[in-house]
Amino acid sequence: MTGRSATFTRGGRLVAAVAAIATLTGCGVTADPTTATVSRSAPVTAVTAPTDSEPEPSGPSTSEATAALAVLAQLPIKGRAPKSGYDRELFGQAWSDAVGVDGGHNGCDTRNDILRRDLVDIEFKPGTRDCVVLSGTLHDAYTGTTIPFTRGQGTSEAVQIDHVVALSDAWQKGAQQLDAQTRVDFANDPRNLQAVDGPTNRKKGDGDAATWLPPNRAYRCTYVARQVQVKAAYGLWVTQAEHDAIARVLSECGGAVASEPAATQTPEPSVPATTGVYFANCAAARAAGATPLYAGQPGYRPEMDGDRDGVACE
């Protein structure tokens, strides 16, 4: 996928689902009767935790959780591709401003953009046109705690910027196939970024929803819904375990999978079985509709994987 948007053409129900989940995650969408286009440059609504005088957040509505489930149902389910070849530099310079997503080319690096979005009571460094954040307060969505932030050696790491969908996780689930600029956009997309408690971010590592969820249970539904939206926007997939974990969280939030009337159901295209199949070359694999082939899948052979990245016949 090389463009600045991801377009889905899988029926009117998905159009409505993408529009509804955009409300939850702060994403902008445009939709016509046959397509739903998720804009890569759409702004993200800041996530702010309550102060002591504010009530606890009620979380996403049942309809929003249902919308997220509908989008989740459209994500491909596959195994992880090998992590071999992954490098942070493949997603560009950290916090680059040279991106085509919201906040790009505004003269301020992405880290400070997110700090400015997610912190309150902010003090800026003089002469930076309100770009460089010197101090502020984070109401951390991941832990539900309040964290003071002070810029400086030994203090800045108290608040870190998390990739909601980790870069390594994205690499193993489709980002290998994105072009270089799209990967840079992904790494700096505000929809995929959240200012959070530093130690909690380190504990998350590159875990997906099957292995890690925020300690603050009240935020989990919004968290996994954001993962769904980001993966849909960039054409990434989920593993079966990840799919099931996300579905469980969204169901606990009141989400439900809507069933279509039998008369309007569109049969899913059949997927050729690959068990025991031997493909003489990529042309034969493509003709069988089995490409791309991933390491560990029936039909994959290293001889067909020219760049040895674990994905053959790309």
For residues 168 and 274, membership in a common domain is answered with no
Q: What is the pLDDT of residues 5-52, one digit of tens each?
A: 333 333 344 444 444 555 554 443 333 323 333 334 433 333 333 334
Name the CA dihedral angle for 57, 58, 64, 66, rounded to a multiple of 10 degrees: 130
- What type of residue is 301? R
Tell me: do 81 and 180 sit in the same domain: yes
Pair 175, 63 in one domain: yes
Q: In the chain, how many domains are there? A: 2
pLDDT tens digit string along 85-115? 999 999 999 999 999 999 999 999 999 999 9
Boundary (domain end) residue, out of 236, 262, 288: 262
| Residue 295, pLDDT score | 72
Residues 227 and 101 in one domain: yes
Contact 74, 238 (CB under 8 A): no
Widest CA span in the chain: 68
The pTM (predicted TM-score) of the whole model is: 0.68
- Cα separation of 56 and 64, whole Å? 18
Q: Do 225 and 107 belong to one domain?
A: yes
Same domain, 24 and 150: yes
The residue with tokens 């039909």 is 299
What pLDDT does residue 313 have? 83
CA 282, CA 278: separation in Å to the nearest integer?
11
Same domain, 311 and 174: no
257 Rama class: left (phi>0) / alpha (psi -120 to 50) / beta: beta
Do 78 and 35 fall within a single domain?
Answer: yes
Same domain as 288, residue 144? no
The mean predicted confidence, pLDDT, of the chain is: 80
The pLDDT tens digits of the residues spanning 8-21 come to 333 344 444 444 55
Rounded to whole angstroms, the Cα distance separating 32 from 258 reads: 21
Residue pLDDT, tens place only, 166-177 = 999 999 999 999
- Per-residue tens of pLDDT for the chain, all 314 residues: 333 333 333 334 444 444 455 555 444 333 332 333 333 443 333 333 333 433 344 456 788 899 999 999 999 999 999 999 999 999 999 999 999 999 999 999 999 999 999 999 999 999 999 999 999 999 999 999 999 999 999 999 999 999 999 999 999 999 999 999 999 999 999 999 999 999 999 999 999 999 999 999 999 999 999 999 999 999 999 999 999 999 999 999 998 876 544 444 444 444 343 345 666 778 777 777 778 877 767 777 777 777 777 777 88
The answer on 310 and 172 residing in a single domain is no
What length does the chain have? 314
Domain extent, residue 284, equals 269-314
Q: Which of 262, 279, 304 is the last residue of a domain?
A: 262
Whether residue 76 sits in one domain with residue 22: yes
Do 298 and 171 fall into the same domain? Answer: no
